[in-house]
Amino acid sequence: MWHDDDTVVDLSDRVVRGPSRRGDIDMADWEVSVTFDNAADYINANLSLDPLDELSTLNLDGDGGFDPLLTENHVVMLEVDEGDGWVVWFDGFAGGDVNSVAVSSKRHTVTFTPDGVTMPLKERDRLQKLTYTDRDMATSLLQSILLDSGFGGRLSHVVIADDPVVQVDDYTTDVGSTWDALQKAIGKTGYVLASRYQEAATAYADGSEEVTPAAGFYLTLYDPKRSKIEVDYTWTDECARRSVRYSIDDVRTWVQVAYEDSLGAQRVTPSASNPENTTKFGIPKGDGTKLDRQMRLVEDNNSLIRTLADAIKYRDFALHDLEDPTPGAAIFIDELWSEPGLHDFVEFQFADYTLQIGITGITIDLDPKIPWGECTFDGVVNKVVGLRNYWLGQELTEEEIAKRRLEFLKGGSGKLPKAEILHIRPYAKQGTDGETYTAALVQWKGVESWWYGHTAIYVSIGDNKHYSEDPFMTARGTNATVQPLPAGQTIFIKIKHIPNNQISPQGMK
């Protein structure tokens, strides 16, 4: 553990239970629980780990200031020796949750559950919408989002293990967490952004030309390789227990994607379905057959899904990940096996049969009472899935579906929201003829109404009351560069949102 001034405290000799480490594909990170001895002898010696104990020297930084060790987002690192030397098994931050420290006065223990390295990204709110244009996703966009969110050091980088090679023409981040902004950006690629172990001096490959400063866990972009058929690891010993445990409520055997194309028209992909899984997991129809469990993913006008090809790929990723129960199997091993990671394809060879599963969750317990370790691997039989809760989180509630259906039937006759300019930034430019003129970057609040067509931009020189009847220019999205404008003069700009008059009452162009 490190205080904020880098004063280090080693708590290895006070572990009485754990550590146990758990992670899954939806968390995209690891969480740890460890219980420390906090007996009266430690308390009397001013070595208590209770965050409220102001007499404890462990709660003081190097200058003697009160700085409770197990809270306040202090850096945490946990290492284990599996026989070949110490390796980083977890690193993250203390005190991200009000329940992250539990003190038992009766049993004289302190239970500590720090957060993984992605926690700051999930906590940091971006209070302003920012627009990024003409970016390569892997080598420009992701790091720009991190830097613009205020992060530095290792938290300002993404390790690009696999590059989706995607160019982003225009992406406006929503108000919300940095984590959500990153996840929405990579959503259409089918890739996964999660915490993964990296060796020291691993190239970030995110356009920064920098490397990881030390071994540990880093935000990593990688391809989960859903079509994988070759196993990554094989277990040949017997396991302690194996089971099938799943719920079919979250299975989806039919998926369709609604999106807005680059011209502003509303489009819907052909549906994709899995009849075989409908037969197994579908909703009973009453005549001996079953109905599909359906999902329609509706992308807003700020989505990076703008073409039919992208929408179909997005649809197929969702169907692949949800057409089977997740998880579908669990393997329990009564020894430590830390090689497999999330999204690995693992074969378990038993005496009676062989089972291959794509790993969706891992729990490892290294309690001192079981020094050999215990592992549980959850997964989907015979396939690797990329995500689960991400897709389910995109489903519309019944209330939202009814609201959009009403708008759809009315043909979008409602009034568009009032245009709101967020900021105007003028700057000088020089044309090819050598003349200097003014340009202005105008950014406005985005419009979510599906019948939005474009934004008209009006310019007035020296007079805020008289504008031409015809717009200076028009644009879609949330920003535009207005140029050329005369240099050295006062310029006024106003905007107006115009509905798409090419959309019929059925919403099609």
* Residue 21 shares a structural domain with residue 66: yes
pLDDT at 56 over 90: yes
Q: CA distances (Å), 503 to each of 70, 232, 263, 408, 413, in order? A: 58, 50, 11, 11, 11
The answer to whether residue 7 sits within a structural domain is: no
pLDDT in tens, 179-200: 989 998 998 899 999 999 999 9
pLDDT at res. 344: 96
pLDDT at res. 412: 44
The answer to whether residue 506 sits within a structural domain is: no
pLDDT at res. 509: 28
* Residue 193 shares a structural domain with residue 293: no
The secondary structure of residue 278, as a DSSP letter, is H
Over residues 109-120, mean pLDDT: 90
Q: What is the 3-state secondary structure (H, E, C) of 433-455?
A: CCCEEEEEEEEECCCCCCCEEEE
Cβ neighbours for 327, distance < 8 A, ≥ 6 positions apart: 245, 246, 360, 361, 378, 379, 380
* Residues 24 and 378: beta-carbon distance below 8 Å: yes
pLDDT at res. 8: 94
Here the CATH number for the domain that contains residue 164 is 3.55.50
* Residue 284 shares a structural domain with residue 379: no
At residue 245 the predicted structure's pLDDT band, cuts being 50, 70 and 90, is low
* Residue 384 shares a structural domain with residue 429: no
Q: Is pLDDT larger for residue 361 or for residue 448?
A: 361
pLDDT in tens, 332-363: 998 889 899 999 999 998 877 788 999 999 99
Please give the Cα distance from 308 to 263 (Å, whole number): 12
Where is the domain boundary, 116, 137, 161?
116
Q: Which residues pair with 172 in a beta bridge?
A: 131
pLDDT at res. 101: 63
Percent of the chain with pLDDT over 70: 89
The answer to whether residue 482 sits within a structural domain is: yes
The answer to whether residue 317 sits within a structural domain is: no
Q: What's this model's pTM, rounded to 2 decimal places?
A: 0.74
* Residue 264 shares a structural domain with residue 164: no
Over residues 235-252, mean pLDDT: 77
Extract the tokens encoding 19. 């550590």
Tell me what the pLDDT averaged over the chain comes to.
86
Over residues 417-430, mean pLDDT: 82
Task: Quote the domain boundaries for residue 363.
Answer: 233-245+326-389
* Residue 30 shares a structural domain with residue 58: yes
At residue 106 the predicted structure's pLDDT band, cuts being 50, 70 and 90, is low
Where is the domain boundary, 64, 83, 116?
116
**Looking at the 3D structure of the chain, how many domains does it have?**
5
* Residue 110 shares a structural domain with residue 135: no
Lowest mean per-residue pLDDT among 89-103, 150-164, 187-201, 446-460: 89-103
Q: Is pLDDT larger for residue 462 or for residue 495?
A: 495
Q: Is pLDDT larger for residue 147 or for residue 263?
A: 147
The answer to whether residue 408 sits within a structural domain is: no
* Residue 237 shares a structural domain with residue 290: no
pLDDT at res. 98: 41
The answer to whether residue 311 sits within a structural domain is: no
Please give the Cα distance from 279 to 267 (Å, whole number): 29
* Residue 31 shares a structural domain with residue 79: yes
Give kind and range of the element (H or E) at residue 298.
strand 294-298
* Residue 296 shares a structural domain with residue 337: no
pLDDT at res. 103: 66
Write the DSSP assignment of 100-164 as a string of letters.
SEEEETTTTEEEE--EETTHHHHH-EE-S--EEEEEEIIIIIHHHHHHHTT--GGGG--EESS--
* Residue 355 shares a structural domain with residue 239: yes
Percent of the chain with pLDDT over 90: 48
pLDDT at 104 over 80: no
pLDDT at 123 over 90: no
Please give the Cα distance from 22 to 472 (Å, whole number): 57
At residue 411 the predicted structure's pLDDT band, cuts being 50, 70 and 90, is very low
pLDDT at res. 42: 93
pLDDT at 409 over 80: no
Here the CATH number for the domain that contains residue 485 is 2.60.40
* Residue 34 shares a structural domain with residue 181: no
At residue 452 the predicted structure's pLDDT band, cuts being 50, 70 and 90, is confident
Please give the Cα distance from 494 to 466 (Å, whole number): 11
Tell me the longest C-alpha to C-alpha distance in the chain.
86
Q: Are strands 283-284 and 290-291 parallel, antiparallel or unpaired?
A: antiparallel
